[in-house]
Amino acid sequence: MPDLFDPIKIRSITFRNRIGVSPMVQTSSLDGFADDWHLVHLGSRAVGGAGLVITEATAIQKNGRISSGDLGIWKDAHISNLRKIATFIKKQGAIPGIQLAHAGRKGSYSSPLNQNGLTELKPLSKSAGGWETIAPSSIPFEKNSSLPKEMSIKDIKNVIESFKDAARRAERANFELIEVHAAHGYLLHQFYSPISNQRRDIYGGNLSARIKICLEVAENIRSVISKNIILAFRISYTDWLEDGWNLNDSIVLSNELKKRGVDIIDVSSGGTSPTTVAIAKELIEDRDKIKNKSLIPIEPGYQIDASDRIRKKTKIKTAAVGLINSPEIAQETIDMNKADFIFLGREFLKDPYWPVRAAIKLKQTNKLSIPGQYYLAWRNQESFEFSGYKL
Ligand SMILES: Cc1cc2nc3c(=O)[nH]c(=O)nc-3n(C[C@H](O)[C@H](O)[C@H](O)COP(=O)(O)O)c2cc1C
């Protein structure tokens, strides 16, 4: 039975444990550049014991950003700052990962970070630097978002080429895992979901046409990166809508991605429709309402069973994510072979040392080394022996 703190090897890369920092936008970039914030934010989670640290959604095209504050990798000039981050993460013993993303119709928003903290994303007007969004079909995400341009075949080829260029840059920046963001209602998800894709050409219609772009992105990225680089896809396993994308579709997609050299499916959900996004937000913010709503059964670990199904049906490695808010849930998921990795979002925002505290709680400190610089702080933790002190 594997444990949360057991190492895992994929291709030639060994992760020191199964805990990953889930991608989380920081909306703190200017012109897509990573800066000191990103170094300290991601670096401290590597210091804190994560096995894998993934950057936020990193735009492969300038017009592929969600908001003007997103991180980017659409030009060579972005590489150097990103390399500094990946190199630091690696030096701390974690595997550096990067999430490559294109927002499609869910783009051209103003950066939501202001002095009052995070506010709602607001559409960015053209005069304030907004851009024309693109999508498989010309259907806006919500009433007040701009009407996206329906992509031509040339636009589709162009996006695939940009994913490929971004992957090349990611490897040059020393990342060892590339995760393609194909979830949460962003561009690639817009293609595979029948809700947002109403094309009638080779990229729309039946399921195999709707997933075509994902498969081409996977093939193209695999063709330019080294053999040892790990390729992951984050998918939304369901749209939570009656006529939408569902778990069985996700099993088909995962199988096809696996054939094209994808190593891990990161199993998330939702994001296609503003109704489900609004409900999810409401439920997360007010746990009491969970009992009264049935559309999305949000509760701790609510996406784990989908990870289990995809893993068992396709024999691909999976990451489980979503309200995994205790070391026990994480440990049980790994123990029961429902996932190979546990990705944590908000728990890591609250505490970069989540892995250390989890190891103490689960009595697995003998499997985790901690920074030698912090030895004096942790050495008196009850009677637990850490496996070592890393300098
Ligand atoms: C501040 C914040 C930013 C996020 N940004 C991204 C992102 O860039 N890409 C992505 O795939 N998911 C993003 N997510 C979703 C998280 O990766 C994660 O899937 C979600 O928060 C559920 O996990 P949790 O319950 O452990 O937070 C974000 C979540 C938060 C809270």
pLDDT in tens, the chain (391 residues): 899 999 999 999 999 999 999 999 999 999 999 999 999 999 999 999 999 999 999 999 999 999 999 999 999 999 999 999 999 999 999 999 999 999 999 999 988 777 666 667 788 888 888 999 999 999 999 887 789 999 999 999 999 999 999 999 999 999 999 999 999 999 999 999 999 999 999 999 999 999 999 999 999 999 999 999 999 999 999 999 888 999 999 999 999 999 999 999 999 999 998 877 666 666 556 655 545 455 677 889 999 999 999 999 999 999 999 999 999 999 999 999 999 999 999 999 999 999 999 999 999 988 988 888 988 888 766 556 777 776 6
Per-residue CA distances from 208 to 191, 202, 216, 240 (Å): 11, 9, 12, 20
Per-residue CA distances from 124 to 36, 164, 190, 264, 330 (Å): 26, 28, 21, 35, 39
Which of 109, 186, 192, 353 is labelled catalytic? 186
- pLDDT for res 384: 64
Find, among 15, 104, 10, 13, the residue nearest to 57 by Cα.
104
Pairing outcome for strands 230-236 and 177-182: parallel
Q: How far apart are CA 175 and CA 161, in angstroms?
A: 19
- pLDDT for res 282: 61
- pLDDT for res 87: 98
- pLDDT for res 280: 64
State the closest ligand 1 atom to the C-alpha of 22, by its place in the atom list counted from 1: 17
Q: Per CATH, which fold does 8-352 belong to?
A: TIM Barrel (3.20.20)
8 A C-beta contact, residue 338 and residue 331: no
Mutate to test the pocket of ligand 1, among 25, 99, 109, 120 (most ligand atoms within 8 A of CB): 25
For the question of residue 186 being annotated catalytic, the response is yes
Q: Please tell me the residue having the least CA distance from ligand 1 atom 23.
A: 322
Residue 69 has a CB neighbour count (10 Å cut-off) of 18
**Rounded to two decimals, what is the model's pTM?**
0.95
State the closest ligand 1 atom to the C-alpha of 348, by its place in the atom list counted from 1: 26
8 A C-beta contact, residue 95 and residue 177: yes
**For the purposes of burial, counting CB atoms within 10 Å of the CB of 189, is it exposed (0-12), middle (13-18) or buried (19 or more)?**
buried
Q: How far apart are CA 283 and CA 291, in angstroms?
A: 9
Ligand 1 geometric centre to CA of 271 (Å): 12
Q: How far apart are CA 175 and CA 131, in angstroms?
A: 29
Ligand 1 geometric centre to CA of 186 (Å): 13
Residue 143 has a CB neighbour count (10 Å cut-off) of 6
State the closest ligand 1 atom to the C-alpha of 57, by its place in the atom list counted from 1: 8
Ligand 1 geometric centre to CA of 54 (Å): 11
Ligand 1 geometric centre to CA of 297 (Å): 18
Region for 13 from its dihedrals, namely left if φ exceeds 0, alpha if ψ lies in -120 to 50, beta otherwise = beta
* DSSP reduced 3-state for 34: coil
The one-letter amino acid code at 214 reads: C
Q: Please tell me the residue having the least CA distance from ligand 1 atom 11.
A: 23
Q: What does DSSP assign to residue 290?
A: G
- pLDDT for res 389: 73
- pLDDT for res 133: 97
State the closest ligand 1 atom to the C-alpha of 268, by its place in the atom list counted from 1: 19
The one-letter amino acid code at 150 reads: E
Chain center to CA of 378: 31
Ligand 1 geometric centre to CA of 269 (Å): 11
186, 262, 335, 48: CA torsion to nearest 10? -70
- pLDDT for res 190: 98
Domain map (residue ranges) of the chain: 8-352
Q: How far apart are CA 109 and CA 366, in angstroms?
A: 46
Q: How far apart are CA 189 and CA 196, in angstroms?
A: 8
State the closest ligand 1 atom to the C-alpha of 179, by its place in the atom list counted from 1: 11
Q: Please tell me the residue having the least CA distance from ligand 1 atom 4.
A: 24
Chain center to CA of 66: 14
Mutate to test the pocket of ligand 1, among 24, 99, 283 (most ligand atoms within 8 A of CB): 24
Find, among 277, 266, 272, 250, the residue nearest to 304 by Cα.
266
Q: Which residues line ligand 1 (CB under 6 A)?
A: 22-25, 56-57, 99, 181, 183-184, 234, 268, 321-324, 344-347
Ligand 1 geometric centre to CA of 23 (Å): 6
